Structure 1
Amino acid sequence: MPALVVLITGALTGIGRATALAYAREGANVVVSGRHQDEGDALAKEVGSSGGRALFVKTDVRRDAEVQNLVDRALEHFGRLDVAFNNAGTEGRLTPITEVTDELYEETFDTNVKGTLLSLKHEFRAMRAQDGGGSVVNVSSTYGLMGYPDYALYAGSKHAVVGITKAAALEGAKHGIRVNAVAPGYTRTAMYERATGSDAVRAAVNSVLPMGRPGTPEEIAAAVQYLGSDKASYITGQTLTLDGGLMSGWPLFPAS
């Protein structure tokens, strides 16, 4: 069986990086992208040493031409595209609604929403032209399933990803393209470190998590691999929540 060809945006850190390495360990051909050449080259080398074949393409997902180039390079290098993980995202800045500006809106929505749409646009083009379709996984968040004070921009953008996922799944179904999303809760990434800021805040966060801890990037990567695989062949248009039980009762039922 030929190796899977997997494309990952926002691959240089956190969940994206963990997913690239997880696929590499399975012998996949992995196309990784991000905005920093040196970090991308280093990741591609690590993917190669972990068992996969790698290509890094410097890409800003807010730019249509750059996303098109990313997918075109993947096709030129590996001949097809089996799985795409649209992971590029930003938390933006903590902003009360009364202080929202054009700049702050664009900073968050251009990456999280426009970037997802542009990625789907070109991934669909590739997958529709090949036998067997493909699988796309978008990254939302538990903030895409609830609200939180001062997070209207981030939560709104992640709610949008859930809606885009459902619409794209309906468009892709007749072409053999499945589209799902993951909605991580607190996960030990650089974004988590920035959001919590101190050990005291992290302890307070852990106290309301039913499992008493944040998730790991590797745990989210495993879910992405599942949704991208034939084991999830009848799943499309869904958002898989990965939050250690957070959405089952938080904030009414803190961990005992």
Structure 2
Amino acid sequence: MSEGTGARDSVEGKVVVVTGGSSGIGRASAAVFAEAGMRVVIAARNEERGAEAAHEIRSRGHEACFVRCDVTSPDQVRNLFARVVQQYGRVDCAFNNAGVSGDGRLADLTPQDFDRAFAVNTRGLWLCMREELRLMSAQEDGGSIVNNTSVHGIRTIFPGIGAYVASKHAAVALTRMAAMEHAREGVRVNAVAPGPVESEMLAASEAAVGGATTWRRLIPSGEIGTPRQVADVALWLFSAASSYVNGQAVGVDGGFLAT
């Protein structure tokens, strides 16, 4: 492949699994990956929205399917990847995007609140990565994994979201560990670390941390990001254009982490 080959050219035809693909960043990313010629498998708990997202992609002439999956269930995660392999024979890329918020001061959280954040954002991420790493390590040409973490997994600034922050720090650590353990098998593992992005989660954060209003004061650009801006970075991380990038958490944040 020549050095001038673009990101979209180098991912065409590859199979990508997108967890949490029924809404927000996941849904936008599935559409971006499909536009680039990737074969997209959308996984999510919400069957109606997930099937709708896959249908939208197919209506534009691209390839997509939906598999219902709760990433907190080892059996459902195994079933997801078994179905992907049954249909396509391989998994080239994975965007581990499923996540939940975790609002509340640490002293006020219940064990159930704390466990919920880690069940999805950390343990669920690991369950998916475990299957992806096993499959990709056995493939001659490896694969590429991108985890959706957060700027909160790199820099802690807001009180009142301790469980979420802790789970995202752990997600970044898992990313780096997996990259180190599987680099020689041709598997790259990176993360995107979004700042504020137009989404249901941002809107829901208004009460806890001030939402978009607070973020605009903290972002050098003063702008709230879009799901597509995150998706474009994930696509680049899948591509040959980023072939020497591994174990990184790339901020997609309008310059926030630079402040």
TM-score, L = length of structure 2: 0.91
Q: Deviations for 1:188-235, whole angstroms, at most 9, x for unmatched residues? A: 1111111126xx863343133211111000000000000111111111
Q: Please tell me the residue identity of whatever aligns with 2:51.
A: D
In structure 1, distance between residues paired with 2:29 and 2:217: 28
Q: Deviations for 1:147-180, whole angstroms, at most 9, x for unmatched residues? A: 2212211100000011000100011111100000
Q: Please tell me the residue identity of whatever aligns with 2:144.
A: S
Task: Please name the residue that 1:16 is paired with.
Answer: 26
Contact 2:43-2:50 within 8 A present in 1 as well: yes
Q: Please tell me the residue identity of whatever aligns with 1:178.
A: R
1:103–1:222 CA distance, 2 compared to 1 (3 A): same
Return 203-212 or 11-20, whichever deviates more: 203-212
Return 232-241 or 203-212, whichever deviates more: 203-212
In structure 1, distance between residues paired with 2:112 and 2:176: 28
Task: Please name the residue that 2:114 is paired with.
Answer: 105
Q: Root-mean-square deviation (CA), in Å?
A: 1.6
In structure 1, distance between residues paired with 2:181 and 2:107: 37
Task: Please name the residue that 2:222 is paired with.
Answer: 212
Task: Please name the residue that 2:95 is paired with.
Answer: 85
Q: Which of 69, 75, 79 matches 1:59? A: 69
In structure 2, distance between residues paired with 1:67 and 1:203: 37
1:8-157 matches, within 5 Å, as 8-92=18-102, 94-147=103-156, 148-157=158-167
Q: Please tell me the residue identity of whatever aligns with 1:208.
A: L
Q: In the alignment, is residue 202 of structure 1 matched against residue 212 of structure 2?
A: yes
1:201–1:124 CA distance, 2 compared to 1 (3 A): closer
Return 212-221 or 188-197, whichever deviates more: 188-197
- SS of equivalent to 2:70: coil
Q: Please tell me the residue identity of whatever aligns with 1:76.
A: Q
- SS of equivalent to 1:174: helix
Return 51-60 or 12-21, whichever deviates more: 51-60
Q: Which of 164, 173, 180 matches 1:163? A: 173
1:201–1:186 CA distance, 2 compared to 1 (3 A): closer
Contact 1:23-1:52 within 8 A present in 2 as well: no
Contact 1:27-1:51 within 8 A present in 2 as well: no
Task: Please name the residue that 1:252 is paired with.
Answer: none
- SS of equivalent to 1:181: strand
Contact 2:205-2:211 within 8 A present in 1 as well: no
Q: Unaligned regions of 5+ residues in structure 2, if any?
A: 1-9
In structure 1, distance between residues paired with 2:143 and 2:90: 10
Q: Please tell me the residue identity of whatever aligns with 1:173.
A: A
Q: Please tell me the residue identity of whatever aligns with 2:66.
A: F
Q: Please tell me the residue identity of whatever aligns with 1:51.
A: G
